[in-house]
Amino acid sequence: MRRRVDEQYYEMPTLFHLDEYERCLATRGVYCTGSFELSPQGPHQLFQLMQRYAANWVDNFNHTRLHRGLCVSQRCRQLAPQQHPGQGEHNAALAEWFESCVNESTMLSYNLSSRLYQLEYCRRGEVNPDGLSTNERAFAGFVAILLALCAVSTVLDLTLSDHAKKGAAWALSFSIPGCWRSLLAPPPCSSETDLRAFDGLRVLCMMCVIIEHVCWITTHTFLADTRRYEQTRRALDAMLMANSTLVVQIFFMMSSFLLAHKLLQQRRRGEQVPVVRTFFDTMINRIIRVSPSYFVVVWFAASWWSRAGSGPMWTPLIEAEVNICRSKWWTHLLYLNNIVYANDKCLIQTWYLAADMQLYGLSLLLTLALWRCRRGAIYVLTALLAGSIALLFGLAYTWRLVPTFVMHRPESVRTTYSTEPSFNVLYQSPLGNVPGALAGLLLAHLHHQLLDSRIVLSKYKWFRWSAVSSVCVSAWWVAASPLLLGRGAPGRGGAAALAALERPIFAFFVGVALLGAMHGVPSPIGSFLSWRGWGCGARLSFGALLLHLPLNKSLVAARLAPTQLDRQSAVVLSGVYGYTAIARSPLPRSFSSREHHGYLLVAAAIRRVQILEWFGVASVSYLAALPLALCVELPAQRLHRALSALRRRSHAQSDAAPHDTRQKTDL
């Protein structure tokens, strides 16, 4: 039975195909990339089969649409336009040539007509790069100035005496040795709250995000064998990987928890906290912590990124995103890129930074508003959490929004969620992530309530078991929660319920595990995450978050043939699996033996590419995050601290001067 199903599947047209790109352009050929919609001339059994597969839009690609990158001058020379019109007409003629070429192929092989519904590009011969723009020159000048500052500051740090350094801390802010010492400095410790596991958890969550994005980007491009991808979509490990973006809620929880924990510590010490000044000082510190590295990466994406490579998928994957970055860069400066022009994605992972900044401000306001409430704060935050869940359910039911796993369906990923309202409303908006932030605040207030009551949770056996088992239960929830909806298109009510509850339930189990770690409940995973060596990696995780997607996307966009996505391809050499997938994937019926030979030549070329997908991207991302931290992130923080200390000393001296004068007058 399975063999018959496989035979039927491979009778359908291959969804993705790329001709030899570099050879075509080197011979001044015409290369076009685009997507086509198939339609029958009458009753068509094969087309009905394709429609049945496409009906399961949660797990399968739309098999009535083909995606092609063809050297039309070689494949369909007989259909070439006879005249040479102007530039605009020339592009239209090339697009018509491309459409006629694919239509002839599908008509001969499947008796199906093809209509070009999205043209990525058509180009003839190799394209000469344009001269440097003002934006690119400005970024290059900025990098040169930055390196000069680092060099001067490093020389001062190595040559000045310790006494001279005390009065020139601002001049040493860009010192590489000084930033290196800050990077390796041990995290602060507390006798009441054990936060050592937070660093390890931050690195572990970042690795989960990276492996999910490795698979996400591969789905975003051309796949060699869609059958294997669709078959493994419902496997438990595949659902765990696709749904692993829920771990982003841990970042929101830790951010709001640490914010509230710091303020509540001040309350326990009896310190006075002026509301307005505390709010603005805290938000300024947060902006200085996040903005420098963030803005530098956005500037690079809007300037030099498009020059970092080439390939048949470079224009639709890289150049299209660069154009978006050049038009909406200002939304990143205001931390509104997840709300303003939400369908246009520039560095898609940075939605988290915008949402985190927005929720950080909200969490700060709530913490200051509940400053005088001790037990009442827990009830207020619980009510707000329940209200946010109810609101999300109402929105999901009214607008037919879907949970995370369904949102990450193949066709939605291919279009970067441009037509998916669930991504904008539930995934990247502050409203959709409010439960994670509220869970962090609730955890902080509950923790301090236990400290005030002198309740030691580690003494209770039921809590020790709950804290240890919550780690496994949270992972099980990520992997198995999509099974609650069954196969195929989900029901409206079930999809709305899971969309509203999947994040709060995950946050609940994570919160129980974190509460156990903070209260000293022994567990293997807690000991692993509490290792002191995670500190440096945790500080570099922010840079890895910014850089891993541009790095991985550049590698994928530069590939010359479709690649395979399966369990092995996430952790093995891309060259090996790329060659194996291409060699084993069925070729279109219209391929000749010469074209088959050329196809295998491309496969052999890919075999020589020795890039590790997951471990390679993670390693390169953390390595690239090191100079970003040493030259941008840490210097900005050190400069802010030095200037703040200088300002405080100046204010202290000005306040002390009248006091001293008054004493002398009295004498």
pLDDT score of 601: 44
Whether the predicted pLDDT of 120 surpasses 70: yes
Question: What residues contact residue 200 under an 8 Å CB cut-off, 6+ apart?
Answer: 528, 529, 530, 531, 534, 538
Reported confidence tier of residue 218, pLDDT bands at 50, 70, 90: confident
pLDDT in tens, 468-518: 999 999 999 999 999 999 888 899 999 999 999 999 999 999 999 999 999
Amino acid at position 256, single letter: S
Whether the predicted pLDDT of 649 surpasses 70: yes
Reported confidence tier of residue 655, pLDDT bands at 50, 70, 90: low
pLDDT in tens, 336-367: 999 999 999 999 999 999 999 999 999 999 99
For residue 71, the surrounding DSSP H or E stretch is strand 65-71
pLDDT score of 658: 52
Question: What residues contact residue 497 under an 8 Å CB cut-off, 6+ apart?
Answer: 393
Question: What residues contact residue 144 under an 8 Å CB cut-off, 6+ apart?
Answer: none
Reported confidence tier of residue 612, pLDDT bands at 50, 70, 90: low
CB atoms within 10 A of CB 647: 10
Q: What is the average pLDDT score of the chain?
A: 87
Look at the alpha carbons of 620, 623, 627, 628 in this order and tell me if their dihedral is positive or negative: positive
What phi and psi values does residue 312 have, to the nearest 5 degrees?
-65, -25
User: Taking residues 202-227, what's their average pLDDT?
Assistant: 90
pLDDT in tens, 401-425: 999 999 999 999 999 998 899 999 9
The residue ranking higher by pLDDT, 383 or 667, is 383
The whole-angstrom separation of Cα 124 and Cα 434 is: 50
pLDDT score of 167: 77
Whether the predicted pLDDT of 85 surpasses 70: no
pLDDT score of 232: 87
Whether the predicted pLDDT of 34 surpasses 60: yes
pLDDT score of 282: 94
The most confident of 186-200, 348-362, 456-470, by mean pLDDT? 348-362
Strand 112-124 to strand 30-40: parallel, antiparallel, or no bridges (unpaired)?
Answer: antiparallel
The whole-angstrom separation of Cα 475 and Cα 58 is: 22
User: Taking residues 224-253, what's their average pLDDT?
Assistant: 90
The residue ranking higher by pLDDT, 648 or 73, is 73
pLDDT score of 613: 66
Contact 585, 561 (CB under 8 A): no
Q: Partners of 123 in the beta sheet?
A: 31
CB atoms within 10 A of CB 257: 25
Contact 410, 215 (CB under 8 A): no
Contact 259, 363 (CB under 8 A): yes
The whole-angstrom separation of Cα 515 and Cα 597 is: 61
Contact 515, 460 (CB under 8 A): no
DSSP state of 33: E
pLDDT score of 609: 37
Whether the predicted pLDDT of 21 surpasses 80: yes
What phi and psi values does residue 234 have, to the nearest 5 degrees?
-100, 5
pLDDT score of 570: 52
- The share of the chain scoring above pLDDT 90, in percent, equals 66
Reported confidence tier of residue 635, pLDDT bands at 50, 70, 90: very high
pLDDT score of 566: 65
pLDDT in tens, 170-184: 899 999 999 999 999
pLDDT score of 441: 96
Rg (CA), the chain: 28
- The distance between the two most distant Cα atoms of the chain, rounded to a whole number of Å, is 109
pLDDT score of 5: 74
pLDDT score of 656: 61
Question: What residues contact residue 321 under an 8 Å CB cut-off, 6+ apart?
Answer: 301, 305, 345, 346, 347, 553
The residue ranking higher by pLDDT, 584 or 200, is 200
pLDDT score of 3: 67
The residue ranking higher by pLDDT, 614 or 489, is 489
Orientation angle between helical segments 614-628 and 197-220, nearest 10 degrees: 120
Whether the predicted pLDDT of 233 surpasses 80: yes
User: Taking residues 69-85, what's their average pLDDT?
Assistant: 83
Distance (Å) of CA 323 to CA 295, 338, 420, 533: 16, 17, 21, 40
pLDDT in tens, 311-335: 999 999 999 999 999 999 999 999 9
pLDDT in tens, 249-303: 999 999 999 999 999 998 888 888 899 999 999 999 999 999 999 999 999 999 9
pLDDT in tens, 552-581: 999 999 998 888 776 555 544 333 333 333
Q: Partners of 40 in the beta sheet?
A: 112
Contact 488, 509 (CB under 8 A): no
pLDDT score of 604: 40
Reported confidence tier of residue 82, pLDDT bands at 50, 70, 90: confident
The residue ranking higher by pLDDT, 162 or 114, is 114
pLDDT score of 503: 96
If you search the block for the tokens 């505390």, which residue do you land on?
A: 278
Whether the predicted pLDDT of 583 surpasses 90: no
Amino acid at position 591, single letter: F
Report the residue count for the chain.
667
User: Taking residues 86-91, what's their average pLDDT?
Assistant: 59
Whether the predicted pLDDT of 599 surpasses 50: no
User: Taking residues 102-123, what's their average pLDDT?
Assistant: 94
Continuous H helices in 56-194: 72-75, 87-110, 134-159, 162-166, 176-184
What phi and psi values does residue 122 have, to the nearest 5 degrees?
-135, 125
Cα of first residue to Cα of last residue in the chain, in angstroms, is: 106
User: Taking residues 604-630, what's their average pLDDT?
Assistant: 72
User: Taking residues 15-28, what's their average pLDDT?
Assistant: 92
Burial letters 306-317, b for 16+ CB under 10 A, else e:
bebebbbbbbbb
